[in-house]
Amino acid sequence: MKKHWLGASYGAAMQARQYVGDQSASKTGKFSMWDCFDLNVGSIVCVTKEAAKLYTNSFQAGLVEQAKQKAYHSALQSALAQGMVRKEAERQSQKLARAAGKEKSQQARRISGPLFAAVWDTFEVLYYGGSFVEASMRASGTLSGTWFGALEVLLFFFLFLFLSWLQTQFLHMCKKASVF
């Protein structure tokens, strides 16, 4: 049975953890909700995380509302300038404003989500006594995996399309030469 490359890397990671030992291995990923109630650093970390989430959500909501208002006013002015009835122009402007708000919301989540995850990874590493090097490596891995991972998927997709096209050209060429 052929092993998948992910399975091989997982096995290597497990062997490395066994070699290093449980005391020296990273403790990240073990943070649970019960750590929030230790009335110590865990509680501070949880309060900080929740405050950051509230601030981020509030900031995103402000950006979305600003984009909606801008789209609404510009669409309304444009529709009225074209001679549309006020009620119909308002209805059409509200539709465009909702679409602009949805797009801005998605854009804000794509930007702030990975940043928030990277900061949380840093807090988690430092909470469990990890080094600053481990914290920065984990945060940069989160960011690069999120933002550059999408580019990698697109690259593989276009490579697949190119290879499919190349295969059809090869089969067409062989058919003309009556090789098959």
For every residue of 118-156, DSSP letters joined together read HHHHHHHHHHTT--HHHHHHHHHHHHHHHHHHHHHHHHH
What is residue 78's predicted lDDT score, i.e. its pLDDT?
93
140-149 per-residue burial string, b: 16 or more CB within 10 A, e: under 16: eebeeeeeee
Nearest to 93 by CA among 82, 106, 107, 105: 82
Q: What is the mean pLDDT of residues 21-33?
A: 58
Identify the residue with better confidence: 124 or 92.
92
**Segment 142-157, tens digit of pLDDT:** 777 777 766 666 777 7
Is residue 61 predicted with pLDDT exceeding 80? yes
The domain containing residue 83 runs over which residues?
Answer: 5-149
Is residue 4 predicted with pLDDT exceeding 60? no
Q: pTM for the complete prediction? A: 0.53
Residue 167 maps to a domain: no
Between CA 161 and CA 156 the distance in angstroms is 9
Lowest mean pLDDT among 7-21, 70-84, 100-114: 7-21
Q: What is the mean pLDDT of residues 84-93?
A: 93
Question: What type of residue is 22?
Answer: D
Residue 169 maps to a domain: no
Residue 14 maps to a domain: yes
Is residue 110 predicted with pLDDT exceeding 60? yes
Lowest mean pLDDT among 12-16, 132-136, 157-161: 12-16
Residue 160 maps to a domain: no
Residue 164 maps to a domain: no
Residue 74 in contact with residue 99, Cβ under 8 Å? no
Residue 127 maps to a domain: yes
What is residue 93's predicted lDDT score, i.e. its pLDDT?
94
Residue 157 maps to a domain: no
Token representation of residue 128:
């469990």
Nearest to 107 by CA among 156, 50, 66, 138: 66
Contacts of residue 36, Cβ cutoff 8 Å, sequence gap at least 6: 42, 43, 45, 46
Between CA 123 and CA 44 the distance in angstroms is 11
Between CA 133 and CA 176 the distance in angstroms is 60
Residue 161 maps to a domain: no
Between CA 147 and CA 10 the distance in angstroms is 23
Q: What is the mean pLDDT of residues 102-128?
A: 82
Between CA 121 and CA 33 the distance in angstroms is 15
Q: How many domains is the chain built from? A: 1
